[in-house]
């Protein structure tokens, strides 16, 4: 019984879903003792048992939700991807139909002079032709006047505010 309890505790810590069944062929004394020990463990909240069973679809949904929750926690505290985070803070099932230009702005990589210069794809300055600074996604969305209406629509769509 102690070995079963250790295995169950290990599975619980790993957030694995499991089901314990008892072999009814045991003698009455062994059955009663096992039942008392299991009941005591549940009452002490050492083991959490769920009634019923999970279908394969339910299991996949629970696993997906845990993955999304873990990914969201990492996404919220990560140092990387902060440009993308400004546009798309919530990890989830939403799909966006974006053009390649929109994706370049969201991820901060692409055919922008500042990125091409920093990646050593293009020699020379990464300055925007408008003269307002480096041509990067931040500049295009917040300062570049030629596309200010489009940038304003993007900010409304993503619920963005200048930080």
Domain boundaries, the chain: 2-43, 82-158
CA 86 to chain centre: 15
For 110, the token pair is 């692409």
Per-residue pLDDT tens digits for 88-129 = 788 876 677 777 777 777 777 777 766 667 766 666 676 766
What is the Cβ-side half-sphere exposure of residue 101, based on CA atoms within 13 angstroms? Answer: 6
Residues 6+ apart with CB under 8 A from 131: none
d(C-alpha 28, C-alpha 30), whole Å: 6
Query: Which stretch of DSSP H or E encloses residue 3?
Result: helix 2-13
Nearest to 102 by CA among 92, 113, 87: 87
Give the pTM: 0.44
User: Under a CB-based contact definition with an 8 Å cutoff, are residues 68 and 91 in contact?
Assistant: yes
Per-residue pLDDT tens digits for 21-63 = 666 565 567 777 777 877 777 676 655 555 566 788 888 888 8
Beta strands in 3-161 (DSSP E): none
- Where does residue 124 rank: exposed (0-12), middle (13-18), buried (19+ CB within 10 A)? exposed
């Amino acid at each position: 019984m102690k070995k079963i309890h250790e295995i169950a505790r290990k599975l619980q810590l790993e957030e694995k879903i499991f089901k314990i069944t008892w072999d009814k062929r045991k003698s009455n004394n062994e059955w009663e003792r096992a039942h008392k020990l299991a009941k005591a463990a549940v009452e002490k909240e050492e083991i959490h048992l769920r009634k019923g069973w999970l279908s394969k679809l339910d299991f996949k949904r629970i696993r997906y939700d845990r993955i999304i929750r873990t990914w969201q926690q990492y996404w919220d505290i990560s140092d990387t991807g902060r440009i993308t985070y400004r546009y798309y803070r919530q990890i989830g099932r939403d799909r966006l139909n974006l053009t390649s230009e929109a994706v370049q702005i969201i991820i901060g990589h692409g055919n922008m002079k500042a990125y091409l210069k920093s990646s050593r794809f293009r020699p020379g300055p990464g300055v925007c032709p408008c003269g307002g600074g480096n041509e990067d996604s931040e500049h295009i969305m917040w300062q570049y006047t030629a596309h200010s209406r489009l940038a304003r629509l993007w900010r409304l769509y993503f619920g963005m505010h200048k930080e």
